[in-house]
Amino acid sequence: MRPHIICHMGTSIDGRLHPSRFTKAASGIPAEVLRSHYERIHDGFNADGWIIGRVTMNEMAKGTERHFANAPRLPRDAHLSNRNGRKLAIGIDPSGRVHFGKDNVGGDHAVAVLGEQVSDSHLAELREDGASYIFAGPKGDDLPGAMTQLASLFGARTLLLEGGGGINGAFLKHGLIDEFSTLIFPAVDGVAGSQSIVDYHGPDGDRPGAGQSLRLTHCETLEGGMVWLRHAVERAPG
């Protein structure tokens, strides 16, 4: 069994992800009202934690790299530090490039999802920080296996997948997204090539959503003109 995974994202009307490039809110609409909807709905899911990719986690984690010259050789087994009942802040980091510096991100317990090729020095760093870690196969790309571990080892039943677009695309390709929760800002980005909600990096012609369909389950207009959509993901039999 794996957790129920909700891809919860905020976007412009053209599907882009970076609010710093969005057009300004219309006259009389405070920007903070629009921004507040995302976290309010995030909290309302009461999920066991949230998942982001390496690039996004690097923007949030505040640690710096430390080298452990005599780090012991460790087995590539899951390591669970003291969670203290906190929600999970899960970073997909196959190469071990995120440095937490402490055991949490925004108060939620830090969990690294790694590839088995990471260095023993990095594992020593994570242990010293008080972070937990699990392995997603040799290259760190066994996302289904990692999600199963999050359920069995941490008791995670519901997790929010919150980008960026590359990691969202990888989860979609593996059939790991059960629901999309999309907040559409009344704004546009308009720049060609900007990252979108799902940015799958795979062979040309590969369709990460093949065999999957979306069914609208909720549509709501929020204060300030933001629209909240929820879609259940349905999969073809077999």
Residue 195, pLDDT score: 87
d(CA 198, CA 169): 5
Residue 47, pLDDT score: 98
This prediction has a pTM of 0.95
Instruction: Kindly list the averaged pLDDT for each block of 10 residues, start to end, along the chain of length 238.
Output: 97 93 94 95 98 94 90 95 97 97 97 97 97 98 98 98 95 97 96 89 84 97 97 88
Residue 238, pLDDT score: 62
Q: Which residue type is seen at 91?
A: G
Under 8 Å between Cβ of 165 and 17: yes
Cis check: omega of the bond before 96, within 30 degrees of 0: no
Closest to 56 in 3D by CA, of 15, 10, 123, 103: 10
Sign of CA dihedral 115, 121, 127, 131: negative
Residue 137, pLDDT score: 97
Residue 206, pLDDT score: 84
